[in-house]
Structure 1
């Protein structure tokens, strides 16, 4: 963690795997989807299915952020490719996707320490916002169902802004819309590339939430960001040492 401190007034949070436990909630939603479409009766192992889906989904999201695939194709292909891997026929991948996305925001698992941190920051008087790359209809439901929506003044979603993290445009739009000063703004997220490198490239300080204590993946940060600070925390409670 950088020992220097700056006075921040506006905090911008990533949502998935920073506050809302995407991994746990995705697993729960997929279990319901797996059951709904009776895949076990076809001899499919759930964890194998989930792992292949997760890999397909991750790669397709990279293509989506890079403009190589559109939203509808992403939603279809992530299930179509997974079904094909198990040679499953007779299931509409878009129907499966619709069920999954209906169940996904109903899951309520939060990253450890989320309510305590947000209550602390609210008492301290920070203005708080979300910057997320998720789909609009899902992200707002996640925030409402999990009880997080009341903490944030505005939510900035890449689908609305037409620019995903790590592009500078989404950070610039968020900071201007929040009526914030860049020097007094801080981005907090778990994705070293999308959240941290994206914010630093824009010229905003950032916190890398790194619960797994990764030490070998800082390649995106080798560019010179001498004017900006980067902090590292392994728990959300660690943010109280900065803020």
Structure 2
């Protein structure tokens, strides 16, 4: 029986691609006096390339952009701070986010988030999505002092949810941090499909969050209406 479902945040609950694009569009407009000499399409495209799905520090991304695109009159620190301050106002959820959380809560399934990143930044994004109150526990690597795929962060989350690994599901988009990280401690790993990563050795794959209900059904042997 499935007692707990845990989620990654970026690329799983939060549509980071859409959110980032919206943030960059607004940043370009907001800081047009510094960025207006660059075509907006070039600014956005180059940022996304350098960002590598969030796995490159934004200070380094902005440093590179300043040099490549001849940005003058504003520092990388100011650009980075603008990013931090404004990202949560541009958060875009994946379809059916609230719907799936409500359906899972109706079934008394315990819910958690495990996400890498800075505590305040990630909590602001969770609050912007209006999902904080659905979760019984939220673990953020900055606050925990460990990050995925370290098995200890998964074990810590399960302990807080009073659930065993073999009765829990983890849903995420990253083949190593999410899929292998959760599988390595015996959780059922569900890959939120993302063509950027190509492939993940998951137990299940989903395109839409609502597909989780069928996976839970297959594990419990009972149908949901």
TM-score by length of 1: 0.81
Shift of residue 151, structure 1, vs aligned partner = 0.7
Listed as ranges, the gaps of 5+ residues in structure 2 are: 217-225
Matching of residues 17-56 of structure 1 within 5 Å: 17-38=11-32, 39-42=34-37, 44-56=38-50
Listed as ranges, the gaps of 5+ residues in structure 1 are: 1-6, 63-73, 222-228
- Cα distance in 1 for residues equivalent to 2:40 and 2:131: 30
| 1:83 alignment partner, SS class | helix
Matching of residues 52-201 of structure 1 within 5 Å: 52-58=46-52, 61=55, 74-201=57-184
Residue 10 in 1 paired to residue 4 in 2? yes
* Residue 207 of structure 2: aligned partner: 234
**Divergent runs of 4+, >4 A:** none
| 1:19 alignment partner, SS class | coil
In structure 2, the CA distance between the partners of 1:215 and 1:47, relative to structure 1 (3 Å rule), is closer
* Residue 224 of structure 1: aligned partner: none
Shift of residue 176, structure 1, vs aligned partner = 2.0
Shift of residue 9, structure 1, vs aligned partner = 0.4
Matching of residues 202-213 of structure 1 within 5 Å: 202-210=185-193, 212=195
Shift of residue 208, structure 1, vs aligned partner = 0.8
1:113·1:237 contact (CA, 8 Å) conserved in 2?
A: yes
Q: Provide, for residues 37-63 of structure 1, a one-character-per-residue CA deviation record: whole Å limited to 9, x for no partner.
A: 214422x1222222221222228726x
In structure 2, the CA distance between the partners of 1:176 and 1:198, relative to structure 1 (3 Å rule), is same
Shift of residue 216, structure 1, vs aligned partner = 4.8
Q: Provide, for residues 85-143 of structure 1, a one-character-per-residue CA deviation record: whole Å limited to 9, x for no partner.
A: 21223321111111111111122421011111111111111110101112211111111
RMSD, aligned CA = 2.1
- Cα distance in 2 for residues equivalent to 1:151 and 1:48: 39
- Cα distance in 2 for residues equivalent to 1:139 and 1:60: 13
1:211·1:233 contact (CA, 8 Å) conserved in 2?
A: no
- Cα distance in 2 for residues equivalent to 1:236 and 1:115: 10
| 1:202 alignment partner, SS class | coil
- Cα distance in 1 for residues equivalent to 2:46 and 2:92: 22
1:60·1:78 contact (CA, 8 Å) conserved in 2?
A: no
2:175·2:197 contact (CA, 8 Å) conserved in 1?
A: no
- Cα distance in 1 for residues equivalent to 2:67 and 2:54: 16
